[in-house]
Amino acid sequence: TSFQATEVRQRNPIRTIKMIKISQDKHFLYIDIQADSFLYNMVRSIAGTLLEIGRGRFPQGAMKRILKSHNRRQAGPTLPAKGLCLVRVKY
């Protein structure tokens, strides 16, 4: 629930994140996320939290604390869709 959109409530908001990988090239930053499924705006919220950690606004260990808190207010902002690109969906 740490990354659940505040305006949309799922009956069961528990999701399993299997992998998050961050990489970059000369022009882009890539965030690859694998999960069993996603909540509305979940990826944008995770990306916003990672951005805050990268900028030094949250300490490096913040992600673990945020996940344990189950509190959306502890996480970073939901990034706007502009600039984010869904590359692939695997089933």
Give the domain CATH number at 30.
Answer: 3.30.70.660
> CA-to-CA distance for 34 and 7, rounded, in angstroms?
24
Helices then strands, each counted (H, E), the chain:
2, 2
Query: Residue 21 forms beta bridges with which residues?
Result: 32
Report yes or no: 77 and 3 within 8 Å, Cβ to Cβ: no
- Of 13-17, 64-68, 74-78, least confident by mean pLDDT is 13-17
Residue-wise pLDDT tens digits, 27-66 = 988 999 999 999 999 999 999 999 999 999 999 999 999 9
| Residue of 54, 36, 41, 50 whose CA lies nearest to 86 | 41
Q: Structural domain of residue 82, as residue ranges?
A: 1-91
Q: How many domains does the chain have?
A: 1
What pLDDT sits at residue 78? 94
